[in-house]
Amino acid sequence: MNIRTFLQQKVREAMSSAEIPEAFGAHVTPSKNPKFGDYQANGAMAAAKSMQTKPRELAQKICDNLLLDGIAKQIEIAGPGFINIHLDHTWIANTLYHASLDKKLGVTTKEQPDTVVIDYSSPNLAKEMHVGHLRSTIIGDATARILSFIGDSVIRQNHVGDWGTQFGMLIAELSDQLGEGCSAEFALKDLEKFYQQSKKRFDDDSTFSDRARDYVVKLQSGDAEVLTLWQRFRDVSLSHSGDIYRLLNVTLKPEDIRGESAYNDDLEVLVNALEKTGLAKEDEGALVIFLDELADKEGNPSPVIVQKKDGGYLYATTDLAAIRFRANALKATRIQYFIDDRQSLHMKQVFTVARKAGFVENNVRLEHCAFGKMLGKDGKPFKTRTGGTVKLAELLDEAVEKAVTVVKEKNPQLNSEQVAEIARKVGIGAVKYADLSITRTNDYVFDWDAMLSFEGNTGPYLQYAFTRIASIFRKAEQDLQRFDASIELNEPQEIALALKLLKFSEVLEQVAEDAYPHVLCNYLYELASLFMRFYEACPILKTEVAEADKLSRLQLSKATAQTIRLGLDLLGIEVMERM
């Protein structure tokens, strides 16, 4: 259950009984300080102001009508008219107990689910995936998991760059290498090298560049032979990114791929439509849409070129076709783009044109979920030691390798198979968590030591918190999954932990609304820290602990472990029983 929403409804009902117009909300928020209760309703002040009554008197009227018997143990008015609600501990205990029996841990699912199209990862297939794609892939995937968990119908769209003039030179190169008897897999084993090689030939050798240009024309006109070569290239490149998704524990599947090439046939139709409505105008031979909405400081409208002088289409044209497809064919009610913040003008242009052209209704939410750069410890863009781009595959291998050392150090008793399995989860989890735990709109500093540390707000810290609870259950000779005991809350640390656990639903709701997964990370970190405090203050397995306390505390521990596991799972991070 989402307690904030529940109290919100209760207070609003009381406001209606007190004859306060519907327009005034209850404004229930969690209290920052337990002195002021667990939740506060702050709606009385605004209502009183416009009803021209005294806020404290109005707050009193609300309280008189507030039906929270057995739910709140105390309700009081504070300051100018805040209503402080102190929840009843037995009610907290029972609510938490019931949540812990539920597969979804009591998280409320949306009554009116959205159809959300999430555009993420979307690498260019001409090159190997590099660190630039990491953030989009990780943050987009966590959001997709969270939205679908709370009941939205999520359509993942991997808008891969699989079209454009550079494919001419790549196909020419591939054709040559296949002619020499090389297999496509072998030729494209190192995509990066392959790209450099064909680029060099394109620049240095005019017969080659002529052929490359000829291939582009043939590709666009649907020449069967050239299309087959293109398909070969595309398949091998996609299998590289598929490997990365698997290693990264990312939910993108081949059926989620709808690349730029998928919109080819639609571009001409689209541009014609834009021209007919008068939105696109000819300008120096090109077709351009001028947007006053996005004019610069001098008042010059922002130009969006949809067709070049030579007839070619652009990145924006394809994105317009994609957004129209998403709204019309996929019936999206919300469309999210996880793309770095350097493309924010591009996204604004696409959104504005899509609205003006009537491709997307006003009630469909369009969101550019932007994120900042990945920096090295020196504060400069993250690069290899020699200054090159870091390949994602190599970065992830290094993460697992480093985790092997860390895991072995922590627990020398593990056999090599266990070490490998745990290190994979720890290494990948650390990379993902480091990215997810900072506000996505900020740049973030990639730092191996910090992310692999068992202290602080890190992936390993949370995985370790889970294993600690698992080990308590092993010592107690109890099964964590099946354990079932009622909860009784007496100590302040028990109450604080229980209240935090009950906020899980609220946190997920917020993350689903704003697409800021770091809010979930912060929550899990605070939860794990509260658990450690509880565990220090409230012994569980010591002989002097009364049986009822022991069982209740085990149930609290179980609820914590379940929440950490589910929370991490929604971030795309795995846990383990021991480490």
Residues that bind ligand ARG (CB under 6 A): 119, 122-124, 159, 161, 319, 322, 337, 339
CA distances from 576 to 434, 555, 579 (A): 19, 19, 7
Which lies closer to ligand ARG via its Cβ, residue 97 or residue 337? 337
Element (H, E) at 202: helix 191-204
Which lies closer to ligand ARG via its Cβ, residue 121 or residue 463? 121
Which lies closer to ligand ARG via its Cβ, residue 71 or residue 322? 322
What is the nearest approach in angstroms of ligand ARG to the Cβ of residue 119? 5
Q: Return d(Cα 505, Cα 499) in angstroms, integer.
A: 12
What is the nearest approach in angstroms of ligand ARG to the Cβ of residue 572? 19
Q: Return d(Cα 535, Cα 546) in angstroms, integer.
A: 15
Which lies closer to ligand ARG via its Cβ, residue 155 or residue 564? 155
Which lies closer to ligand ARG via its Cβ, residue 271 or residue 369? 369
What is the nearest approach in angstroms of ligand ARG to the Cβ of residue 473? 44
- The helix, strand and coil proportions of the chain, stated in percent and rounded to the nearest 5, come to 55, 10, 35
Is-contact 75 38, C-beta < 8 A?
no
Q: State the distance between the two ends of the chain, measured CA to CA, in whole angstroms.
A: 33
What is the nearest approach in angstroms of ligand ARG to the Cβ of residue 323? 8
The residues near 371 (Cβ < 8 Å, ≥ 6 apart) are: 135, 136, 139, 338, 340, 341, 440, 441
CA distances from 164 to 168, 304, 419, 540, 563 (A): 8, 18, 44, 63, 46
Which lies closer to ligand ARG via its Cβ, residue 154 or residue 451? 154
What is the nearest approach in angstroms of ligand ARG to the Cβ of residue 349? 11
Which lies closer to ligand ARG via its Cβ, residue 177 or residue 318? 318
Angle of helix 134-149 versus helix 547-570 axis, rounded to 10: 130
Find where tokens 């290899």 sit: 384
Element (H, E) at 282: strand 280-283
CA distances from 215 to 17, 164, 204, 208, 270 (A): 74, 11, 18, 10, 25
What is the nearest approach in angstroms of ligand ARG to the Cβ of residue 412? 43
What is the nearest approach in angstroms of ligand ARG to the Cβ of residue 127? 9
Which lies closer to ligand ARG via its Cβ, residue 121 or residue 198? 121
What is the nearest approach in angstroms of ligand ARG to the Cβ of residue 126? 10
The residues near 441 (Cβ < 8 Å, ≥ 6 apart) are: 341, 370, 371, 372
The residues near 68 (Cβ < 8 Å, ≥ 6 apart) are: 7, 10, 75, 85
Which lies closer to ligand ARG via its Cβ, residue 37 or residue 164? 164
Secondary structure (3-state) at 542: coil
Which lies closer to ligand ARG via its Cβ, residue 124 or residue 198? 124
* Cross-strand bridge partners of residue 30: 39
Closest CA to 30 of 95, 85, 108: 85
Which lies closer to ligand ARG via its Cβ, residue 124 or residue 237? 124
What is the nearest approach in angstroms of ligand ARG to the Cβ of residue 260? 8
Q: Return d(Cα 509, Cα 319) in angstroms, integer.
A: 29
What is the nearest approach in angstroms of ligand ARG to the Cβ of residue 174? 21
What is the nearest approach in angstroms of ligand ARG to the Cβ of residue 233? 16
What is the nearest approach in angstroms of ligand ARG to the Cβ of residue 1? 37
Element (H, E) at 238: helix 224-248
Which lies closer to ligand ARG via its Cβ, residue 164 or residue 572? 164
What phi and psi, each to the nearest 5 degrees, are found at residue 56? -65, -35
What is the nearest approach in angstroms of ligand ARG to the Cβ of residue 499? 41
What is the nearest approach in angstroms of ligand ARG to the Cβ of residue 122? 4
Which lies closer to ligand ARG via its Cβ, residue 135 or residue 468? 135
CA distances from 11 to 3, 5, 33, 62, 130 (A): 12, 10, 20, 7, 51
Helix residue ranges per DSSP H, 490-546: 492-502, 504-514, 518-537
Which lies closer to ligand ARG via its Cβ, residue 75 or residue 291? 291
What is the nearest approach in angstroms of ligand ARG to the Cβ of residue 60? 54
The order of strands in the sheet holding 82-87 is: 28-30, 39-41, 82-87, 72-78
**Long-range contact set of residues 512-518: C-beta below 8 Å, sequence gap at least 24:** 512/146, 512/147, 512/150, 512/152, 515/139, 515/143, 515/336, 515/367, 515/369, 515/440, 516/439, 516/440, 517/139, 517/142, 517/143, 517/146, 517/436, 517/440, 517/571, 518/436, 518/437, 518/438, 518/439, 518/440
Which lies closer to ligand ARG via its Cβ, residue 208 or residue 313? 313
What phi and psi, each to the nearest 5 degrees, are found at residue 101? -85, -20
